[in-house]
Structure formats: C-alpha cells, structure tokens
Chains A and B, each alone.
Chain A
Amino acid sequence: MAPQKPADVAAKVETTKKEVKPVVDKITVGHVHMSGCTGCLVSLADNYGGLLTILDKYADLVYGLTLADVRHIQKMDVALVEGSVCINDKLSVQEIKETREKAAVVVAVGGCACYGNITRFGRGGQQNQPAHESYLPIGDLIKVDVYIPGCAPTPQQIRNVCVMAYLLLKGTKEQKDLATAYLKPLMMAAQRGTTACFCDLMTEVINQGLCMGCGSCAAACPVRAITHEYGKPQGQRDLCIKCGACYNQCPRSWFSFDVVSSYEAINEAIMAALQ
C-alpha cells in the first residue's frame, strides 16, 4: 500500500497556486551574446542584489545564453548585446539582424559591441573555427540605439541604463523626461560611430582646445595606457584596446548640465529604485 500523505501536507499542496506576476508592467530584456568574453554579462551579474531587484521589479529576462530557457531571439523591449559580430559566421550575422527586428531598443553593451574593442585585433587561426577572423562592432551591421562603452562596462553603468530604460518605457511623464535626458549622451555616442581609440582624446579633445587636464581618462582606462604629460593625456598606442572608456568618461567629450547638475537627486532615485 502506498504511504499516505499527512493531512496538512496534502492541504498545503492544494492551496499552492502558480505565482502571480508581482509587477504587471515589467519591461522585457534579453542578453544577446555575440563575440565577446562574457565579461559584460559578469558585470551585469556583479550588481548582485541590485540585479535581483531589477529582475523582480522592472525587467523580465526573456532571452540569454544559459540564463533563460529559450533557443531563439525573442521579441523584447530592450536587447543588451555583448560582443562584436563575426561576419564569417552566418548564425551570428543572422542573430544580430534578428535582434534588431525583435527588439525595440538595442543597447551595445561593452567595448566590443560598440567599437570592436579587443576583437579589432582578431586575425583568425583560432581552434575550432580558424577561419573566423573578421569581427565588426554591431553598429556596422544594424542601427544601435544606446552605447555602454568600456571594457568591461561597469555594473553601475549597466544598472543605470536598465533603470533608465524602464523609466523611459513605463514611467510617468517626468520620469520619461529624466530618462530621455540621461540616455541622450549614450544615444549620441551610438550615432557618433563604431571606432574608438585613446587618440580620440587627441583629435576630439586636445586638438579641439577642450582638454583641461582633469585626469578622468587615465582613471577610466582599463589597461593603464594613459599617463599625463604637461597635464595632458598621453596614450601608449600599443596598450590601447579600443574600448572607448577614456573618451566617453572625459567631461569634455560630452557633458549635460541638465543631468549632471542633478547628480544628487538622480543617484538617490536610482538607489531607491533598487531597494
């Protein structure tokens, strides 16, 4: 005779219902992995509790290698794309095009997706696909809406964009305005182009008479390629990995008084959103 379930357990099973979605108005987000090292995804995960809050309250992860149980690119509000596109690989090309078709907002996350980054140095010859030698930033194949440069992009920058994307799509008028103002420079970065180098500091900042020697670029560089000579940045060409962090961190590349002047309120709002 099969063992009988105790009465209280049987009762519990009956009352358990399928979990109701606690927040109806979440946005849908996917992580699309092209040719990258997964460092961007690790950065996203490095938000720890903050990431769980984002997934609890603001965003459903509808696509993501190993993270979401789906094979194909889904329809989604925001696609976070990591890595550049190997144009020698049909599937990669197909997937990036599909991402553009299915996502309302495409965010290039990290140096590879934005500017090619370290994959710019690809020459092929790697097992088990030695013919894979040509890599392009996603902006060379599709229109990209928002850039998050850097190698790796920081957990805080990815977090800020996620919160702002939610406010843009689901917020009140006031929140939409804030999100638009916040995202604007990152959208302009996406329009600016698909190449980056420490030499942007030379051509776009020093040569343009805009550098004042604050030091942001040297702090932002992930490979310590930047020092200062006469108070102005000096890059070591052979070290630069083309991630775009220095130029985009520079207060004289782009600077929004509207947004930055309210830094206290915006930081507090983001922290509150993640509580």
Chain B
Amino acid sequence: MGAELGIYKSCVSARSTDKEILKASQDGGIVTQLFGFALDEGIIEGAIVAVSKDFYKKYPEKCMACYADDTKEPFRPIPAIITTKAELMESRGTKYNISPNVSLIKEATRSFGLDKVGIVGTPCQMQAIRKGQLYPIGLRDVGDKIALAVGIFCMENFPYQSILQLVEDHAAMSMDSVRKMEIGKGKFWVYGKRGQVVQLPLKVTHKYEQPGCHVCLDYVANLGDISTGSVGSPDGWSTVFVRSKIGDSVWGKAMAAGCFETQPIEKVKPGLELVSKLANEKISKNKKTLEERATFGVGKALRNPYI
C-alpha cells in the first residue's frame, strides 16, 4: 500500500456517537458529525453541502437560485450553504450524481459573508479547491477562508439522467419510492421506502458513468483535510484518513469531544487492503484511458489536462 492512498497522518474506522445523525446517514455519519462539531466550535461558520428538494422547500435562500429548475426531482443534489445544525441534519446522505459544490465557494464568502467555510466534495472537487488556493485566478480572498475540506471516496459519478435510467429502467422502481442508494460490495443498491431492495451488478452501471471521471487519478480524496468513505470498514462504519494539519487539528478536537467511536483500521474487515485494491484498480484503469486518449484519432490526441 503506497501512493494510491495519498499522504495521511492517521487512518481509522469510525462512526458518529450521535444516534440521531446515524439514523439517516450514509455510513458512519462522519461528514455530518464533523461539520456539526465544527459549527458548534466555531471552526466553520457554514458549510457547502449537497441537499435535496425537501431541503430546498424549507430553506430556498440557502440554495443557489440558478438551480431552481433542478429542485423538483428526488435525489437531485443541489449545492447549498448550511449555517445551522438543523439545516445540516436535513442534508444527510449520499446522492449519487453531480453536485457542483465548488460553484458556491466564492458565494459563501460573499452573500453569506462567511470567513470560515467548510466544504464536502469528491476527490476532483478537492483538487479544484487546492488548485484554487494555489492558483486563485477567479477566487479573490477565498483561499484562506476554506477552514475544513472533507473529501469523500469516489470511484465515479453519474449524470442525473443516468441515475433515472438505473433506478427506473434497470431497477424498475420509481424515484419517489427510493429511500437510499448505495454502491458497495460490487453492486449498486437501491433501497425502497417500503423496505424493498434491488441490486444491480456494477457491470450494468458502467456505461452510465460520466466520461470526465475516466481520467481521474484519485480514489480516496488525497487532497481533503480529512477524507472518508465506506470502503474498508464494516457496515455502518466509515474509513477516515486524516491528512492535513487542519484535518489533524479538527479530528483531534472532535475525538477529544467524544464525537466519534473508532476502531483501529488494522483490526477491521475488510480493512485498508480493499481500499488499496480499489484505489489501484481505479488509477490503473484511468491511466490506461489517458494513454488511449494520447493516440485516440489518426495522429490526433485528445487533450490531457495533467502537466
């Protein structure tokens, strides 16, 4: 296990000690608990998260108006800025499609007037945040206000219409009847509100992935302050990498405050070995894609963003 897991100071398997958070969280409630703690402690004044239409109905002013057209569909993520615990609790759970969270990073420091911003996002969004801190081309006075960036593990993402097709056509469920979606144990799981469960093999989902994901070389959000995901930990728990100085400080305080129950990552099944395996699979598959792009046409290459 090496570079595929990025640089980290510590790694544990963890879950929130707050039963309320766990009730509607994706796995161990890590992101919700971290942001809740950081809000209480004043480490952040608000956070950019992905919410859904029920949140939009209650707090439309916290969502960007330009996403108003997207606010009627279930499981359609809407980037929003939460500034209270109640709003945070309303935003729990993973929505398996594209949420341009970074689009709010400047707005959070302007209209919302936040000096300490939290943001949760996929590995590519963490890359965007860090590029934005080093090369703030259009992000005036934003970089030093990013107080906590939490990355989530990500193999690939889907356009909303792909999710529609998977849930309604392949799983034959109506979007409105879905309680939770999940990718794990090699399958795409759709849980219905009445208790029904449908699983699709990932082979079916591959062709619905967004193409931009196929050049991504980061599985475990190497550039987050803290990154987390279900892979590697038992059901109901999450694997947590603490990466930066900021991450280390926040995680240390949250642990001291009793926010998390943890187990050593070496002691849990399937453990880091699986994380490492999946990370390597993603990276080598996508490196191959980049190579193929270099000779894509006849003497013509597709553009390579990496320098």
Contacts and interface: CB of A to CB of B under 8 A. Distances in A.
B97 interface: yes
A221 B216 contact: no
A218 B79 CA distance: 12
B215 interface: yes
B146 to A, nearest CB: 11
B303 A228 contact: no
Given A209-B211, A252-B212, A264-B244, A150 B138 contact: yes
A215 B128 contact: yes
B212 A259 contact: no
B256 to A, nearest CB: 23
B222 A212 contact: no
B102 interface: yes
B130 A260 contact: yes
A270 B23 CA distance: 44
Contacts of A171: none
A213 interface: yes
A1 B7 CA distance: 79
A245 B157 contact: no
A256 B105 CA distance: 21
A220 B134 contact: no
B98 A231 contact: yes
Contacts, number: 176
Contact of B99 (A148, A149, A231, A254): A231
B137 A157 contact: yes
B140 A155 contact: yes
B124 interface: yes
A219 B106 contact: yes
A153 B7 CA distance: 32
A250 B222 CA distance: 18
A263 B137 contact: no
Interface centre among B105, B133, B245, B307 (most CB of A within 10 A): B307
Contacts of B214: 209
A215 B138 contact: no
B131 interface: yes
A264 B103 contact: no
B216 A212 contact: yes
Contact of B134 (A160, A245, A246): A160
A216 interface: yes
Contacts of A253: 305
Given A160-B134, A212-B216, A255 B104 contact: no
Contacts of B142: 219
Nearest to A263: B130
Interface in B37-77: 66-67
Interface string B212-240: 11111100001100000000000000000
Interface centre among A204, A219, A253, A259 (most CB of B within 10 A): A219
Contacts of A244: 137
Contact of A215 (B125, B135, B212, B302): B125
A219 B105 CA distance: 6
Interface in A216-237: 216-222, 227-228, 230-232
A156 B223 contact: no
Contacts of A257: 217, 306
A228 B306 contact: no
Given A148-B137, A220-B138, 8 more contacts: A153-B137, A210-B212, A214-B124, A214-B127, A219-B106, A228-B103, A252-B305, A260-B130
28 contacts: A153-B137, A155-B140, A157-B137, A182-B134, A204-B303, A209-B302, A212-B98, A212-B122, A212-B213, A214-B121, A219-B104, A219-B107, A219-B138, A220-B106, A230-B159, A230-B160, A231-B160, A245-B137, A249-B135, A249-B137, A251-B124, A251-B128, A251-B131, A254-B305, A259-B134, A263-B134, A263-B223, A264-B244
Interface of B: 7, 66-67, 79, 97-107, 121-122, 124-125, 127-128, 130-143, 157, 159-161, 210-217, 222-223, 244-245, 302-303, 305-307
